[in-house]
């Protein structure tokens, strides 16, 4: 499959739906009340995480693997900090 | 009878599916990233012949101009003095005729033309560098090339293919008033015909730009030719006593075109890269455009790296809206940064001109300094601002072209350096990662974006020390990045190869 073409991104969209459904089940298990803006924050968080992986790969493709890994680590650090804050926010109001 | 419980609940299944999906997506995105990084579509301009290569939306960054305002007495450039290749060649000839001459002797003893004597008195550091080039660097380079030649052989072979073609491009053999009005070449020349009228200068410009892209130009812009940027001497096809003072009337418009050097090769600067791929291609485009204009009945002259220039390009490129002049002295464009070789076609065809752009290069260059820090000969200013620096009457970062040329002669491979092109953060391919930077940085008035990007550039990417690019024992003839596979001599050649770092 062409990893830069439309079908690939369509597949990524399908997988994202699966991830979103999984998150919804996870949130219900925890008793989180996921309002629209909390869901938006979760999507942004997931976007940052995905972008970190994508950026890492792009720099590997440009023969800048070391720089890519450092950029990935920065992305992961941001994701962890943001993720912890997001979990605390989600857990703040439970059913 | 109670219903048998399944091992995994529906909600548990969804959670596992979501987690698996996220893991799959992470892996797929790394793979997609690698594909995007390698994608040939990201090699802006490289062997593409369509207008899509000029993808940056210049509109929001245009201003009325001119981009160049004199800060002192304006002086036109000279082939004898400012043009480093001509200057050093003249100086070298004089030194050969006067082998006992040293730097301690009066410069007048060399019998140079008065202009060059005056130039060297005004810029004594250029004299010192030019002398060092011919007395020290050229002889040591000859020895280095004997020793290491095979290691760079494929880069030289690659480069010379372009040179061989470029050398066959037609050059003007008569003054502009004659040759620019003739079509054909050699004994098959004929006067250009009656001019085909265009409906408007705007439509003429649109057509010419379309042609330029289809002929292979990555970038094209149009401005009026500025007489201050014509050489004072040595126009092609002109006798020495030609009157070089007036701007030929039919050079009213300057069509500026640019193409990048091959991306993987330029990153292996200084030793493995070449300028001749882009020299040849941009010259070919310009010659094609000259031919088309003449066929349409308009006088035209191509000013190109392979056939010679009668004017200087970077300031015209800036006025034509292709980019801004940076610390390096060349035009930095939004699409390909400094990785751009340019040519001009002068003509009298009435054309709508473009406006210059300001997309933040001046501010970025003031704080970046990667080019100056990486320059093997220290030719570029590391000052925080170009205030007080000028070149021929216009504000301009100081660049010592004598020092620059010295390293040209020291470097291995196809000769030349291009290190400042390779390290410039603007010289990047066209993929999503760099396009994010391209879009955000010019639109951020706070400078936070450029500072963040610069921090990442300096801290995530390795930069060899400038001295490592020098010859052993000072350096190790380093390259900014490893050469692409097709230039690795060990892979293809059955010859003895000595790597510089192995001594």
pLDDT digits (tens, 9 = 90+) for B241-262: 999 999 999 999 999 999 999 9
Rounded to the nearest angstrom, the gap between the alpha carbon of residue B320 and the centroid of all alpha carbons in its chain is 16
Give B494: exposed, middle or buried? Use CB within 10 Å, 0-12, 13-18, 19+.
exposed
Q: Name chain B contacts of A71, Cβ cutoff 8 Å.
A: 456, 460
Q: Is B57 on the interface with A (CB under 8 A)?
A: no
Nearest CA in chain A to B263: A62
Half-sphere exposure of B278 (CA within 13 A, CB side): 26
Partner-chain contact B39 A16, CB within 8 Å: no
For CA atoms B353, B289, B254, B317, give the dihedral sign. Answer: positive
Q: Is A19 on the interface with B (CB under 8 A)?
A: yes
Give the model confidence (pLDDT) of B305-345 as tens digits.
Answer: 999 999 999 999 999 999 999 999 999 999 999 999 999 99
For CA atoms A24, A30, A33, A36, give the dihedral sign. Answer: negative
B375 lies in which domain range? 49-63+75-502
**Number of other residues whose CB lies within 10 A of the CB of residue B278:** 26
Nearest residue to B251 via CA among B331, B314, B167, B309: B309
Of residues B58 and B5, the one with the higher pLDDT is: B58
Average pLDDT score over residue span B100-105: 93
Closest CA of chain B from A7, distance in Å: 12
Question: Residue B317 is encoded by which pair of tokens?
Answer: 């490129």
Phi, psi of B331 (to 5 degrees): -80, 120
Nearest CA in chain A to B462: A67
pLDDT for B393: 93
Q: Is A92 on the interface with B (CB under 8 A)?
A: no
pLDDT for B502: 56
Nearest residue to B426 via CA among B436, B438, B444: B438
pLDDT for A95: 62
Partner-chain contact A50 B482, CB within 8 Å: no
Q: Is A12 on the interface with B (CB under 8 A)?
A: yes
- How far is the C-alpha of B158 from the C-alpha of B72, rounded, in Å? 44
What are the extents of the domains in chain A?
6-92
- How far is the C-alpha of B278 from the C-alpha of B44, rounded, in Å? 13
Banded model confidence at residue A1, pLDDT cuts 50, 70, 90: low
Give the model confidence (pLDDT) of B387-413 as tens digits.
Answer: 989 999 999 999 999 999 999 999 999
Task: Identify which of A11, A21, A57 has the shortest CB distance to residue B14.
Answer: A21
Mutate to test the interface with B, among A12, A30, A62 (most CBs of B within 10 A): A62
Question: Residue A31 is encoded by which pair of tokens?
Answer: 């008793």
- How far is the C-alpha of B96 from the C-alpha of B272, rounded, in Å? 31
Closest CA of chain A from B484, distance in Å: 10
Give B397: exposed, middle or buried? Use CB within 10 Å, 0-12, 13-18, 19+.
buried
Q: Is the pLDDT of residue B3 over 70?
A: no
Q: Is B203 on the interface with A (CB under 8 A)?
A: no
Nearest residue to B349 via CA among B247, B228, B244, B222: B222
CB B281 within 8 A of CB B259: yes
Partner-chain contact A61 B34, CB within 8 Å: yes
Q: At what angle do helices B432-443 and B448-460 cross, to 10 degrees?
A: 140
Q: Is residue B289 part of a domain?
A: yes
Q: Name chain A contacts of B422, Cβ cutoff 8 Å.
A: none
- How far is the C-alpha of B197 from the C-alpha of B195, rounded, in Å? 6
Banded model confidence at residue B1, pLDDT cuts 50, 70, 90: very low
Question: Residue B26 is encoded by which pair of tokens?
Answer: 């992470």
Q: Is residue B70 part of a domain?
A: no
For CA atoms B9, B14, B17, B22, give the dihedral sign. Answer: negative
Would you say how long chain A is, in residues? 95
The number of domains in chain B is 1
Mean pLDDT, chain B, whole residue set: 94
Average pLDDT score over residue span B460-478: 94
CB B235 within 8 A of CB B299: no
Partner-chain contact A2 B35, CB within 8 Å: yes
Partner-chain contact B18 A26, CB within 8 Å: yes
- How far is the C-alpha of B111 from the C-alpha of A19, rounded, in Å? 80
Q: Is residue B430 part of a domain?
A: yes
Task: Identify which of B24, B37, B41 has the shortest CB distance to residue A62.
Answer: B37
pLDDT for A70: 97
Of residues B39 and B335, the one with the higher pLDDT is: B335
Phi, psi of B47 (to 5 degrees): 60, 30
Q: Name every residue whose Cβ is closer than 8 Å to that of residue B18 and which is 6 or more positions away in sequence.
A: A18, A19, A20, A21, A22, A23, A25, A26
Could you say which residues from 20 to 49 on chain A have a Cβ atom under 8 Å away from some Cβ of chain B? 20-26, 28-29, 46, 49
pLDDT for B109: 93
- How far is the C-alpha of B299 from the C-alpha of A32, rounded, in Å? 76
- How far is the C-alpha of B382 from the C-alpha of B368, rounded, in Å? 9
pLDDT for B6: 60
Of residues B114 and B185, the one with the higher pLDDT is: B114
Nearest CA in chain A to B41: A4
Q: Is residue B177 part of a domain?
A: yes
Q: Is B490 on the interface with A (CB under 8 A)?
A: no
- How far is the C-alpha of B413 from the C-alpha of B270, rounded, in Å? 8
For CA atoms B23, B24, B25, B27, give the dihedral sign. Answer: positive
Partner-chain contact B30 A53, CB within 8 Å: yes
Average pLDDT score over residue span B134-156: 96
Give the model confidence (pLDDT) of B220-247 as tens digits.
Answer: 999 999 999 999 999 999 999 999 999 9
Banded model confidence at residue B52, pLDDT cuts 50, 70, 90: confident
Beta bridge partners of B380: B399
CB B265 within 8 A of CB B416: no
């Amino acid at each position: 499959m062409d990893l830069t073409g439309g079908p690939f991104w369509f597949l990524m969209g399908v997988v994202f739906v699966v991830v979103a459904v999984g998150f919804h089940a996870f949130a219900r298990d925890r008793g989180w009340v996921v309002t629209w803006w909390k869901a938006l924050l979760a999507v942004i968080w997931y976007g940052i995480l995905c972008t970190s992986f994508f950026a890492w790969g792009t720099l590997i493709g440009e023969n800048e693997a070391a720089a890519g890994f450092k950029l990935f680590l920065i992305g992961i650090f941001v994701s962890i900090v943001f993720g912890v804050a997001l979990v605390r926010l989600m857990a703040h109001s439970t059913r | 009878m109670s219903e048998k419980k399944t091992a995994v609940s529906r909600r548990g299944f969804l959670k596992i599916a979501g987690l698996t999906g996220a893991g799959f997506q992470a892996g797929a995105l790394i793979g997609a990233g690698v594909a995007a990084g390698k994608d040939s579509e990201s090699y802006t301009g490289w062997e593409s012949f369509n207008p899509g290569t000029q993808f940056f939306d210049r509109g929001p960054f245009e201003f009325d101009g001119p981009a160049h305002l004199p800060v002192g007495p304006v002086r036109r450039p000279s082939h004898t003095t400012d043009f480093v290749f001509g200057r050093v060649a003249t100086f070298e000839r004089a030194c050969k005729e006067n082998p006992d001459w040293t730097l301690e002797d009066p410069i007048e003893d060399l019998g140079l033309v008065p202009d060059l004597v005056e130039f060297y008195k005004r810029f004594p550091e250029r004299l010192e560098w030019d002398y060092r080039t011919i007395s020290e660097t050229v002889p040591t380079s000859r020895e280095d090339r004997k020793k290491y030649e095979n290691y760079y052989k494929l880069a030289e072979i690659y480069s010379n293919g372009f040179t061989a073609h470029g050398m066959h491009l037609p050059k003007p053999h008569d003054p502009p008033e004659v040759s620019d009005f003739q079509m054909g070449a050699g004994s098959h020349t004929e006067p250009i015909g009656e001019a085909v009228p265009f409906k408007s200068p705007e439509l003429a410009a649109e057509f010419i730009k379309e042609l330029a892209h289809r002929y292979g130009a990555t970038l094209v812009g149009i401005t009026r030719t500025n007489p201050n940027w014509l050489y004072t001497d040595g126009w092609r096809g002109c006798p020495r006593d030609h009157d070089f003072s007036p701007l030929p009337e039919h050079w009213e418009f300057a069509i500026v075109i640019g193409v990048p050097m091959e991306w993987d090769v330029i990153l292996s600067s200084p030793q493995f890269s070449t300028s001749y791929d882009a020299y040849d291609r941009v010259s070919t485009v310009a010659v094609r455009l000259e031919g088309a204009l003449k066929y349409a009945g308009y006088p035209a002259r191509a000013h190109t790296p392979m056939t010679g220039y009668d004017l200087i390009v970077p300031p015209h490129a800036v006025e034509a809206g292709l980019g801004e002049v940076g610390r390096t002295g060349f035009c930095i464009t939004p699409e390909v940064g400094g990785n751009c070789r340019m040519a001009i076609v002068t003509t009298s065809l009435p054309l709508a001109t473009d406006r210059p752009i300001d997309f933040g290069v001046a501010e970025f260059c003031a704080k970046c300094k990667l080019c100056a820090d990486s320059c093997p000969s220290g030719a570029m200013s590391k000052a925080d601002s170009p205030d007080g620096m000028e070149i021929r009457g216009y504000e301009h970062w100081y660049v010592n072209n004598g020092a620059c040329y010295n390293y040209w002669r020291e470097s291995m491979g196809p000769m030349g350096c291009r290190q400042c092109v390779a390290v410039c953060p603007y010289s990047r391919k066209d993929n999503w990662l760099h396009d994010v930077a391209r879009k955000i940085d010019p639109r951020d008035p706070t400078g936070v974006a450029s500072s963040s990007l610069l921090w990442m550039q300096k801290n995530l990417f390795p930069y060899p020390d400038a001295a490592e690019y020098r010859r052993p024992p000072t350096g190790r003839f380093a390259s900014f990045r490893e050469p692409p596979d097709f230039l690795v001599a060990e892979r293809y050649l059955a010859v003895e190869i000595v790597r510089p770092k192995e001594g």
